[in-house]
Amino acid sequence: MSALSELQGAVRAAAGAVGAGGEGKGRQAPSLQRPPKPDFGDYSSNVALLVAPTVGRSPREVAEQVGEQLRDALGERLERVEVAGPGFLNLFLADQWFLAALRGVLEAGDRFGAGEAAAGERINLEFVSANPTGPLTVAHGRHAAYGDSLARVLEFAGHRVHREFYINDYGTQVRRLGESIRARARGEPVPQDGYQGDYVADLVDPQLAREADVEELARLGVAACLEEIEATLERFGVRFDTWFFESSLHSSRPSGGSAESEAGGGAAETLGRALADLERAGAVYRADGALWLRTSELGDDRDRVLERTSGEHTYFASDIAYHQHKRARGFERLIDVWGADHHGYVARMKAAWQALGGDPDALEVVIVQFVHLLERGERTSMSKRQGNIVTLDELIEEIGVDAARFFLLGRSHDTTVEVDLDLAREESAENPVYYVQYAHARIASVLRKAGAQRVSQALERLGELGPPALDPAERALIKRLVAFSEEVVEAAERRAPHRIAAYALELAQEFTAFYRDCRVVGAEPPDLEAFRLGLCLATQRTIATALGLLGVAAPESM
């Protein structure tokens, strides 16, 4: 448990000793925040405001009583407590607390911040799932960066994550790809609703493309696109445990990865079973020759077709069967990462999930917003069919994997992100990924200058040190360090890896201020140098961990 978690626990225990504790029975848990000004202490809590109504005393009186409990619990680690305003409790921590906090970070090693989530779940995380009809675009790149980073964060927090890519290789769009390939090879106009990009001409050998039928060309085209997609994702540092083919739901063909063995049966059987289960539940009906699902009764704006009058199943029917197949594989939670153009699809999917008996809380749909690329202040446009696309490979060529991932993860998934290519190329403090990586490299340089033996001796001495007289920059850096565990928990629970990107930048900024104000190698007395070397090592490890959760490298030199 981190020093900050222990402090939060002490505040809650003190509140419990005074009265109702501010928790339970629908009450909000007391918070522990870093105040905006040092004059308000190291941490501030609203605990008295929450407890006061339950014990019939004023918040200021309760705050004084909670403060007394904390003085007894924390002893010399607490310098003083102040009550401010209507009853806020401001905590001023002694140097002993900061030294103990640093020791805790170093003792945790590379696992500092890990595993403080609730009981781990077995999670199926489906992301990217781009149509296999062309190269990955920058928009797909955002999905890839988000899904991969979320998986890393969830695993670091203690969950078991299965990464999955759903391949839409069945239906109209795939046939249109085959038609587009044949038209290009024969020098004919590409159908208006076909794929116009130049890449289409390179998917299949021209001679074969002129002679083969559309179905064969579609199959070959999908295979070629998938090969390129896999290569791009590997280059981007993204891997999947299962590649699941939609066509496997309609035939005996096996899906990718280990899906078949985990499910204990063929995927094709799942579609028939799902429709039969819906019929037994009274969730479907026939009208106008089609089979409909009563999604309007479960939150959707209208009912949806599962089987057309021709007998052909809709994409929605495939999606229902696919989610049933995931559930049959024993996952406790499903997280689907979808694009902004699928927002209207969420209600119907959740309705189908519930109609089949699924726990509404066990299916999450995360909508990822659009990406805009900026260069010299102008935006580019992306359209796979029209051909004027910006591919993920092109973005990587322009700014590299690290910058691409960091910039794509820089804002919340539910907000449109703008990638400034000019800024991403800069080697300056204005470029956030460069700034964070440079901080890591600078610490590596400091530790090299000190030498491995000196650093090792410093770590041994840390266990024997009395409390140093800390510089404000040292205190600020340690407070930022111990906040990492809470950031990981928040990022995991809120499905928000952008919090890790923001944290990494803030930690790098705190280190820069510390390095500016505090000499490290050669600091006197020797105990002070030992303390600062330990602080540098803890910071370097935490920056590296944060960057690793983003899929970004932590260089030793730059």
Q: What is the pLDDT of residue 230?
A: 97
Percent of the chain with pLDDT over 70: 93
Q: What is the pLDDT of residue 265?
A: 44
More confident: 552 or 15: 552
- The DSSP call for residue 170 is S
Q: How many angstroms separate the CA atoms of 283 and 279, rounded?
A: 6
Closest residue by Cα to residue 11 from 118, 111, 93, 84: 93
CB 502 within 8 A of CB 496: no
Q: What is the pLDDT of residue 100?
A: 93
Confidence of residue 387 (pLDDT cuts 50, 70, 90): low
Q: What is the pLDDT of residue 464?
A: 83
Q: What is the pLDDT of residue 117?
A: 55
Confidence of residue 384 (pLDDT cuts 50, 70, 90): low
- The DSSP call for residue 28 is P
Closest residue by Cα to residue 238 from 342, 165, 160, 334: 165
Confidence of residue 529 (pLDDT cuts 50, 70, 90): very high
pLDDT digits (tens, 9 = 90+) for 420-459: 999 999 999 999 999 999 999 999 999 999 999 999 999 9
Confidence of residue 22 (pLDDT cuts 50, 70, 90): very low
Q: How many angstroms separate the CA atoms of 336 and 320, rounded?
A: 13
Q: What is the pLDDT of residue 266?
A: 60
DSSP conformation letters of 234-249: HHTT---SEEEEGGGG
Q: How many angstroms separate the CA atoms of 550 and 15, rounded?
A: 37
pLDDT of 28 > 70? The answer is no
Q: pTM of the entire structure? A: 0.93
Q: How many angstroms separate the CA atoms of 220 and 245, rounded?
A: 15
Q: Taking residues 356-377, what's their average pLDDT?
A: 94
162 membership: H or E segment, kind and range: strand 160-167
pLDDT of 185 > 90? The answer is yes
Q: Taking residues 196-217, what's their average pLDDT?
A: 92
pLDDT of 262 > 70? The answer is no
Q: How many angstroms separate the CA atoms of 469 and 220, rounded?
A: 70
CB 40 within 8 A of CB 31: no
pLDDT of 21 > 70? The answer is no
Q: Taking residues 519-534, what's their average pLDDT?
A: 95
Complete domains list, the chain, with CATH: 3-93 (3.30.1360.70), 99-118+429-550 (1.10.730.10), 122-371 (3.40.50.620)
More confident: 556 or 256: 556
Q: What is the pLDDT of residue 344?
A: 87
Q: What is the pLDDT of residue 46?
A: 92
pLDDT of 196 > 80? The answer is yes
Q: How many angstroms separate the CA atoms of 420 and 377, rounded?
A: 8
More confident: 405 or 312: 405
pLDDT of 25 > 90? The answer is no
Type of residue found at 291: L
Tokens of 539: 């910071």
pLDDT digits (tens, 9 = 90+) for 496-518: 999 999 999 999 999 999 999 99
Q: What is the pLDDT of residue 357?
A: 92
CA angle (249 as vertex; 246, 250 as ends), nearest 5 = 105
Q: What is the pLDDT of residue 148?
A: 98
Judged by average pLDDT, the poorest of 50-54, 117-121, 153-157 is 117-121
Three-class SS of 439-500: HHHHHHHHHHHHCHHHHHHHHHHHCCCCCCCCCHHHHHHHHHHHCHHHHHHHHHHCCCCHHH
* Residues 27-38: b if buried by 16+ CB within 10 A, e if exposed: eeebebeeeeee
Q: How many angstroms separate the CA atoms of 54 and 58, rounded?
A: 10
Tokens of 275: 């429709």
Q: Taking residues 368-391, what's their average pLDDT?
A: 79
- The DSSP call for residue 293 is E
Q: How many angstroms separate the CA atoms of 306 and 242, rounded?
A: 26
pLDDT digits (tens, 9 = 90+) for 289-332: 999 999 998 888 999 999 999 988 999 999 999 999 999 999 99
CB 513 within 8 A of CB 479: no
CB 243 within 8 A of CB 165: yes
Which of 234-238, 278-282, 385-389: highest mean pLDDT?
234-238
